[in-house]
Amino acid sequence: MGCMTLSARKTDIDAVKLLDHALANGICFFDTAEMYPTPIRESTYGSSEELIGKWLRKKGGRSEITLATKASGPAAFVPWIRSGKSRHNRANLISAVESSLKRLQTDYIDIFQLHWPDRATNFFNVRGFKVPKKDLTFDIEDTLDVLMELVASGKIRSFGICNETAWGAMTFIKNMEKRNSNDTLAIQNPYNLLNRSLEVGLSEIIAREDITFFAHSPLASGILTGKYFNGSALASSRLNQNHHGDVFKSPALLKAAEKYVTIAKNHGIDPTQMAIAWLLSQPVVTSVIIGVTNRSQLTHNLNSCDVTLTREIIKDIDRIQQEIPNPCP
Ligand SMILES: NC(=O)c1ccc[n+]([C@@H]2O[C@H](COP(=O)([O-])OP(=O)(O)OC[C@H]3O[C@@H](n4cnc5c(N)ncnc54)[C@H](OP(=O)(O)O)[C@@H]3O)[C@@H](O)[C@H]2O)c1
């Protein structure tokens, strides 16, 4: 199968069993980050990578696995990661790779990604672009040189950018061409029924520049499952824990999410599987990164691969997007 990615965000023995189960069921691509698990805390920094590292060691060998991780950028919400000022420069990227390799107990990372841009731009729920009065110092050419050197050294096999804008993606592509690079670039951005902003600019870049694209947050943190509307969400479910502040409380977002859940029900399919199947049917999507907290969610989500969306369902979905465009930026 291999059409999805499992993210590792649990930190206990159940997570190791979940990883075994995912692998046994055809998942071969695992995505993590130095700052995971979520919710992001100083006390758990690096734990997801450590867990994967222990799992890899126990299993022995990792040739059948594609492993992706990410280096954080600068952000006030992670003051413990290189003082919250982690520009994507030589010192920071080399230190991030070395530390991830240690935690992952491996000698190479298949896809090393920049978790977010190190310049002032719109990502992580920021809708519009504001011309910065005073920009952060950033240097994409320097970043690229280090990433290419890391590939040449064998410590990483390829690299990617996350939560990027069309300008950022094209600047990486242009500078890779300038260097006659044969490296492949991956992009990992949010893409789901409530956030199709990718289609405004990045989709064309991904298609025309032949980019590997990973869609993250396929269920918009779980709201597209419908469980928050029918009362079946547990107190421990992510949105009941309020990890995202007010982002998922917007009336437009709730209205749109409920409408997608209703479309699924009207067509006799499961809302979660409709949301994932819709992503799998998008030609720009290379892989859908699913996040699960237990085995039954994993099995349920994997079964989305067997769901085919009819033209009528797609039409209904597109009608809601026209009515309430991208309520979850
Ligand atoms: N690059 C980035 O900046 C970035 C950002 C976000 C995510 N990602 C990547 O993408 C992965 C997935 O993102 P995500 O976890 O936000 O994905 P998501 O699909 O939007 O949300 C996943 C959450 O929904 C709930 N869920 C999943 N399947 C379910 C089911 N069948 N029934 C009921 N609830 C279900 C689970 O939470 P509860 O059980 O708690 O409800 C699960 O943790 C991350 O782990 C990460 O690897 C990357």
pLDDT tens-digit profile of 132-157?
887 778 999 999 999 999 999 999 99
Asked if the structure places residue 311 within a domain, the reply is no
Is 17 inside any structural domain? yes
Provide the pLDDT for residue 12: 64
Q: Is the CB of 316 under 6 A from ligand 1?
A: no
Computed from CA positions of residues 12, 16, 17, 21, in that sequence, does the dihedral angle turn out positive or negative? positive
CATH number of the domain residue 135 falls in? 3.20.20.100
Q: Which of the residue ranges 52-61, 200-209, 282-291 would you say has the lowest mean pLDDT? A: 52-61
| DSSP symbols for 149-176 | HHHHHTSEEEEEEES--HHHHHHHHHHH
Q: What does the alpha-carbon distance between residue 39 and residue 172 come to, in Å, rounded to a whole number?
A: 30
pLDDT of 125 > 90? The answer is: no
Q: Is the pLDDT of residue 1 over 50?
A: no
Is 202 contained in some domain?
A: no
Counting every residue written for the chain, the total comes to: 329
The pLDDT of residue 261: 98
Do residues 115 and 72 lie in contact, with contact meaning Cβ atoms separated by under 8 Å? yes
Q: Residue 290 Cα, ligand 1 centroid: separation in angstroms?
A: 6
Domain that holds residue 88: 4-190
| Closest residue by CA, ligand 1 atom 13 | 217
Looking at the domain assignment, is residue 226 inside a domain? no
Q: What pLDDT score does 119 carry?
A: 94
287: in domain: no
Identify the residue whose C-alpha is closest to ligand 1 atom 21: 221
**196 in contact with ligand 1, CB cutoff 6 A:** no
Q: What 8-state DSSP symbol labels residue 137?
A: P
The count of structural domains within the chain is 1
Q: Which residues of 133-151 are buried (b: 16+ CB within 10 A; e: fewer)?
A: eeeeebebeebbebbbebb
Q: Tell me, yes or no, whether 112 lies in a domain.
A: yes
In a domain, 203, yes or no: no
Task: Give the pLDDT of residue 5.
Answer: 64
- pLDDT, tens digit, 9 for 90 and up, residues 209-248: 999 999 999 999 999 999 999 888 998 888 888 777 788 8
Residue 327 CA to ligand 1 centre (angstroms): 18
Quick check: CB of 217 below 6 Å from ligand 1? yes
